[in-house]
Every structure is written in C-alpha cells, then in structure tokens.
C-alpha cells in the first residue's frame, strides 16, 4: 500500500480516506496491511504520522512485556516459550525483536527467520525484527511506534525483546508495562557492571539456564543489589529460574507476570507508569520533530559547510548552534 | 571555581573576564582549574557554554584514541598499558572512562579509583570517569565536550575507553581519530552479534588475552567478516594480539596506531573524517538545543499535563507534537 502511493495524485480528502481505509484493514486483521503499516512507521515514511494518528485511539488495549539481558542469555528461546504459553491461553501476540548492537546492518534478521519458520503457520503470532538505523533515528521511538500499530491491530500481548544492557536497551524496554531482565549463571566479574543500570528497570528477574553451575550465586548477587535499591512503587522484583530450552520455569514466569500485573492494578499504578512513560516519549518525539525542522530549514549542504568550518576550527560549534536555534525561532512557520 | 559563582553578582563584562581567566588557567596546566572545567562541562552548568566557546579555538591539537569492546575484554588494563607506553615517549595524556551501562548510578567509579592510585603521582596523566545521566542527556556529547577541554588544556593524547558494543558506544568512540575494538577468545556464539555493528567502526582490532584458547578462531572470524565489509577509506583494519596484563603486544598496538595515523595523513583523510564527525555532532547539539528550547517554552507542568492526557488516550501524541512545534516556530524569540 505504502509504496503504491508514490506517483499517485491525492487530494487532501482522498489521502485521508486512504489512511482511514488502511487503518480499518489493519484493525480487521489484514496481515498485509499490518506488515505495510509497520514498515511505514519504522521507516518514518510520509504517511507514517497520519497512520499513527488514525491508529492511536485504538491502541492502549494490549499488554506490553519487555525482555532484555546480555548477549547469550537465551532471550529468544524464552520469548518463544512465553509466546507458546500465551497462545495456548488463547491470546494473540506481536513480537518485536530489537537489536541495537547492529547500527549499520540488519543483524537480527537471521535468528528471526529461523523462528518465523516455527510460527509461520500461526496467524496469532506476528514477529518483526528491528535494527538501529543510525544514531539520530531513535530506535526506542520506532519500537514504541511499531508497538502502537500492533496494539491497535488488536493483538492482546506484545513482547519486546532486546539484546544488551546499555542505555538503548533501557530506553526500549522502558516503554513496556512490565520489564524482565534475563541473567545467566557464569557471567563472570562483569555481572556487577551489568546490573548497575538494570536494578531500576527490572520488574522481574529471570535466571535462565538455571541448571548451570553458579545459578545460586547470581541469585545471591541480585538479592544483595536489591537490598541497596529502593523502588518508587515498593515492589520487590521476584527472581524466577528457568531453563527455557526445556520449557522449565515458563509457567512460573507467567505467574510472576500475572502477580505484578495484579499488584499494579491493586495499587492503581498503571496510569502513573503510563504517564511517566509518555513524559519521556513526548520529549523524545519533540526533540526529533524540532531537529527535523531545523534540518529542513538548514538543508544538507549548509550542515556540510558548517561541519567543514568547525572541523577546520574556523568557527566554534557552540556559538554556531546558538545562532541556528535563535534563527529557527524567528522564522515564520506555516 | 564553578561553585564559587553561585551567589556572586557578575556584570556581563566581569563574567567574560572570569571565563577568560579560568580558560587561561586550564591552558597553563592548573589541575584544579581543569577538574572544575570538566565537571562544569559534564554537568552542563550555566558557565559551560561560555567556557567551551573560549576553549574550542585551542583544541584540535590532541590525538584522540577510542577503545571499546564487550565487558571483560580487559580494556582498562590495555588502556593502562598504552598510557604507560605513551608516557615513556614523553607524551601527556587524558583518559576518559565512560560507562554507558550505568544509567542511574556512577558505576565506573571503583575501577577508576584503583587506577588513580597507580598514576596519581604523575601529573602527566589525567583520568576521568563518566556515567550516563538519563536518556536525554547525551553521553556521547558530554564525552566529546570533556575531550575538547582536555585537548585545549594541552594534553597530547586523549584515550576514550567505553564498555559495550551498542549504539551508545559506537556514538562515543566515533568521535575519536582512531577507533580500536577489543575482543577476547571464547566469547561464544554471540561474537557474531557483537561484531555486526562493530566492523564499520574498528580501525584496528585487538584480540586481548590472546594466550587463551580460541584466539585463532576469533582472528579467523574477524577476517571472514572483513572480507564482506567495505570501508570508505580502503583501509584494512589490522588485527593485533595482546596480553595486556603482562604488557605483551602493547608495542605492536602502538605501531599499528602509528601506521593508521600515517595512512590517514598520506591519503589526506584526516579533515574528511573530522568533517564527518562534526556533521553528526552538530546535528546532535542542535537536537539538544532545540529540545531545551521547547522544554523551556512548555514548562515541566505542561509536559506533565500533556503526558497525562496522552496516557489516558484523550489526545494523540502525534498531533500534539506537531502543534507544539508549529507554536514554537511562531513565537518571537529574543
């Protein structure tokens, strides 16, 4: 659908109708319309904003689960097992696999294809992989937008899986309703480093491959870190042990997820968490939009010329940026 | 100096003189003035912009080396060894240790303190550790600004060391003149994932702990990946094997660094690389500045209210952000 727009002539009215029809197809479960909507949003194609505006009122129904952890923790296998569990319970799923370690090439694709073969006969599971598209693209934001599309399409549950424990991953999983951090035994001395940023975002800890030596030690370390940290919501993240490759502990994990959901509802924390998420997301969207505007006003050639002047120390970048911002403000818009 | 500003009254003229004096002290090698300048820049304190404007014309002399790799690769030890090597050659150094895996707490501090003890008697080495300060702060930008301060202070060489292989780390080390990626034998199946984003940024590969089993295999894997990738500058990144804990291979690494520097100069690539870096940095600075302006115009209370409305699906965020940007443009600035 998206690409068919090119070369066609639309009035504003017919463009609106086009997006409306598209949105309705996505909502009715049309797999092709959904796939195209996701690509459009991920690539920030021209129709992206209109489509998101049309879909947004229909989102907010799905539960969003986020999973992150260091490479090799077995996240993909765990996500697969969780997906099977929820499918058996009659739920429909969207899975977004994000690989921020892959800035220039589409790295997550292979693992994804393999899994696709497993689930491809089941229309109740939709899998999409995403990789970084350069530093200014905002992978967290693209992930959030894709989740909005899947949510509006009527999926009951969205699983967002990302590799790593850096700021990117924190940003990506933060938009989930529930965040799980997956650790494994034998991570070595760096388990301390890994955990520093992660204690705050984990609602549930999973020790996967827990049949390996060292599972007790990882558990003790998590407990020790927990005794130092305090959470705004007073929830103590449980530690669930799994062996995802054998399906062990998956029911326990699903039970822990249900527990936390119950807690959030009982304490009326759902809205509070959503507001917190949206505060961050709005600022990020605003930042992107403002940059886009400044970039358009400047033009690529001008940016290139400024970069050359600064690189040759003919101009200082700090004064330059101030001037551009001041100028952007005084221009008449519209 | 920074904190002494608080509560004091400045005219514009005296503020300019104050920054000028401060800048001159930094340039003369005053360690306290340098430490305060770095803190001011890192925290984006009010004097930060004026100080950077004053220091920028004096920067651009130092060579900047960036080192990154997965946790446990032995980067800190390698940086120490490189520092020793260059100190013996009579060079002065600034070391910036960045830990993006630590979003809420200052995680890099401990290792840093230990190393400080080693070097604290040597004024020729200045070490600073940095951790992420929330997602909108821009750690890459802070690192770049701190490097500018160290550069302007007259250090010959700046080593930027960061843990991890995600987008954060790519952004941080990208500002270096030369980027080294440190790998180790026995990284398991995930070496593929780790390398996906890294092939493009590595000017030199280091296999540290190369006395361990599996060093040959890592080397073969790097070679295999190299045969698929093409670089703009036609440089084939060499692979240097080290055992940093014993100082082995450090001279080879220094020779590889000198080789690449020679290549860049011979091919006139230095300016081109700087322009490329500044294009990205300018856009990032512009993005931050525009967001800051939008945030100031809105006010925190307004952002909170918008977030609440969106979280309750009373408003769609896409239309909202468009409206804010349009409004920002029509306001008179100055």
* Cβ atoms of A22 and A1 closer than 8 Å: yes
> Side by side, which strands form the sheet with B239-241?
B125-131, B93-99, B157-163, B63-69, B178-183, B204-207, B239-241
B11, pLDDT greater than 50: yes
The pLDDT tens digits for A26-74 are 999 898 999 999 989 988 888 888 999 999 999 999 999 999 887 778 8
Classified as helix, coil or strand, A82 is: helix
Comparing CB atoms, the residue among A52, A193, A331 nearest residue B318 is A52
Q: What is the pLDDT of residue B105?
A: 35
- The fraction of chain B above a pLDDT of 90, given in percent, is 39
DSSP code per residue over A192-231: HHHHHTTTTT-SEEEE-STTSTTHHHHHHHHHHHHHH---
Is residue B134 pLDDT above 80, yes or no? Answer: no
Q: Give me the residue from B285, B290, B333 closest to A317, CB to CB.
A: B285
Least confident of A267-281, B141-155, B180-194: B180-194
The percentage of chain A sitting over the pLDDT mark of 90, rounded to a whole number, equals 39
Q: Do A283 and B295 touch (CB under 8 A)?
A: yes
The helix (H) or strand (E) run that includes residue A181 is strand A178-183
Mean pLDDT for the stretch of residues A293-315: 88
A40 to chain B nearest CA, in Å? 15
**Predicted pLDDT at A174:** 74
Kindly indicate the confidence band of residue B212, based on its pLDDT and cuts at 50, 70 and 90. very high
* pLDDT of A104 above 80: no
**Contact state of B167 with A168 under an 8 Å Cβ cutoff:** yes
The reply to whether residue B284 touches residue A171, judged by beta carbons under 8 angstroms, is no
CA distance readout (Å), B198 to A101, A212, B2, B63, B154? 8, 30, 38, 21, 31
| Residue that the structure tokens 């690529």 belong to | A300
Alpha-carbon distance B26 to B6, whole Å?
20
H/E stretch holding A163 reads strand A157-163
Is residue B102's pLDDT more than 80? no
| pLDDT confidence of residue A25 | 94
Q: Within 10 A of A313 (CB to CB), how many other CB atoms are there?
A: 15
| Mean pLDDT computed over B226-230 | 73
User: For B74, which residue in chain A has the nearest alpha carbon?
Assistant: A190
**Is the confidence at residue A3, as pLDDT, over 50?**
no
Task: Phi first, then psi: give them for residue B178, nearest 5 degrees.
Answer: -135, 130
Stretch B238-259: mean pLDDT: 96
The string of pLDDT tens digits covering residues B303-330 is 999 999 999 989 999 999 988 888 765 5
**For the ranges A234-243, B19-28, B78-87, B272-281, which has the lowest average pLDDT?**
B272-281
**Nearest by Cα to A293 from A324, A265, A259:** A324
**For residue A326, what is the nearest residue in chain B, using CA coordinates?**
B333
Determine the pLDDT at residue A158. Answer: 96
- Cβ separation of A196 and B107 shorter than 8 Å? yes
Q: Which residues of B touch A304 (CB under 8 A)?
A: 275, 279
Task: Please state the pTM of the whole predicted model.
Answer: 0.68
Paired residues of B206 in beta bridges: B182, B240
Burial class of residue B226, CB neighbours in 10 A (0-12, 13-18, 19+): middle
Question: Cβ–Cβ of B99/A193 closer than 8 Å?
Answer: yes
Q: What is the C-alpha separation between A69 and A161, in angstroms, rounded?
A: 9
Question: pLDDT of B28-79, one tens digit each?
Answer: 989 899 999 998 998 888 888 899 999 999 999 999 999 988 777 888 889 9
Rounded Cα distance between A77 and A81, Å, is: 6
How much is the average pLDDT of B290-295?
A: 79
Q: What is the DSSP letter of A5?
A: G
Chain A CB contacts of B304 under 8 Å are: 275, 279
Q: Between A and B, how many CB-CB pairs are < 8 A?
A: 267
Closest to B333 (Cβ–Cβ): which among A168, A288, A329? A329
Please give the helix or strand (H or E) that residue A182 lies within, else none.
strand A178-183
- The answer, yes or no, to whether residue A115 has pLDDT greater than 60, is no
What is the β-pairing status of strands B93-99 and A239-241?
unpaired
Asked if pLDDT for residue A247 goes beyond 90, the answer is yes
> In terms of pLDDT, which residue wins out, A204 or B226?
A204
So what's the pLDDT on residue A79? 92
pLDDT tops 90 at residue A156: yes
Which residue among B277, B293, B321 sits closest to A325, beta carbon to beta carbon? Answer: B293
pLDDT band of residue B148 (cuts 50, 70, 90) is very high
pLDDT tens digits, residue range A170-195?
777 778 999 999 988 876 544 555 55
C-beta separation of A219 from A250 below 8 A: no
Average pLDDT score over chain B = 81
If you average pLDDT over residues B185-198, what whole number do you get? Answer: 60
Contact A318 B284 (CB under 8 A): no
CB-CB: which of A103, A188, A294 is closest to B286?
A294
Give every CB contact of residue B206 below 8 A, 6+ residues apart in sequence.
B67, B69, B78, B180, B181, B182, B183, B239, B240, B241, B242, B253
Residue A318 has pLDDT above 60, yes or no: yes
Cα separation, A290 vs A328, in Å, equals: 10
CB A112 within 8 A of CB A97: yes
Does A333 sit within 8 Å of B330, measured CB to CB?
Answer: yes
Categorize the per-residue pLDDT at B94 as very low, low, confident or very high, splitting at 50, 70 and 90. very high
Take residue B30 and report the two structure tokens written for it. 């005053």
Handedness of CA A292, A298, A299, A303 (dihedral sign): negative
Q: What is the ipTM of this complex?
A: 0.79
Listed as own residue / partner, the contacts of A83-90 with beta carbons closer than 8 Å and 24 or more positions apart are: A83/A119, A83/A125, A83/A159, A84/A250, A85/A250, A85/A251, A85/A254, A86/A156, A86/A157, A86/A254, A87/A122, A87/A124, A87/A125
Is residue A135 pLDDT above 70, yes or no?
Answer: no
- Angstrom distance (rounded) from CA B207 to CA B260: 17
Secondary structure class of A29 (helix, strand, coil): coil
Residues in B closer than 8 angstroms to A281, CB to CB, are 317
How many Å lie between the alpha carbon of A132 and the closest alpha carbon of chain B? Answer: 8
Which pLDDT value is given to residue B104? 36
């Amino acid at each position: 659908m998206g690409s068919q727009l090119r070369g066609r002539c639309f009035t504003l009215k017919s463009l609106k109708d086009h997006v409306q029809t598209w949105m309705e197809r996505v909502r009715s479960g049309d797999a092709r319309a959904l796939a195209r909507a996701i690509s459009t949003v991920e690539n920030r194609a021209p129709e992206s904003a209109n489509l998101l505006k049309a879909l947004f009122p229909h989102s907010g129904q799905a539960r969003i689960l986020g999973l992150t952890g260091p490479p090799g923790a077995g996240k993909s296998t765990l996500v697969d097992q969780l997906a099977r569990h929820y499918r058996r319970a009659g739920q429909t799923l969207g899975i977004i696999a994000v690989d921020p370690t892959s800035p220039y090439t589409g790295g997550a694709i292979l693992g994804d294809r393999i899994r696709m073969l497993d689930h491809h006969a089941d229309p109740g599971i939709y899998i999409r992989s995403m990789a970084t598209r350069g530093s200014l693209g905002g992978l967290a934001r693209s992930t959030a937008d894709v989740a909005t599309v899947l949510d509006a399409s009527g999926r009951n549950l969205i699983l967002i899986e990302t590799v790593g424990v850096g700021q990117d991953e924190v940003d990506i999983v933060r938009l989930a309703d529930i965040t799980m951090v997956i650790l494994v035994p034998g991570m070595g001395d760096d388990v301390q480093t890994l955990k520093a940023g992660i204690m705050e975002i984990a609602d549930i800890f999973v020790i996967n491959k827990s049949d390996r030596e060292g599972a007790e030690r990882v558990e003790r370390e998590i407990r020790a870190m927990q005794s130092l940290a305090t959470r705004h919501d007073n929830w103590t993240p449980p530690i669930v042990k799994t062996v995802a490759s054998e399906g062990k502990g998956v029911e326990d994990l699903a039970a822990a997820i249900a527990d936390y959901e119950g807690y959030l509802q009982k304490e009326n924390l759902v809205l509070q968490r959503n507001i917190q998420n949206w505060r961050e997301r709005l600022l990020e969207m605003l930042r992107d939009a403002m940059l886009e505007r400044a970039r358009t006003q400047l033009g690529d050639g001008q940016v290139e010329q400024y970069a050359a002047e600064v690189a040759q120390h003919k101009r200082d970048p700090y004064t330059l940026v101030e001037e551009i911002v001041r100028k952007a403000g005084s221009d008449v818009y519209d």
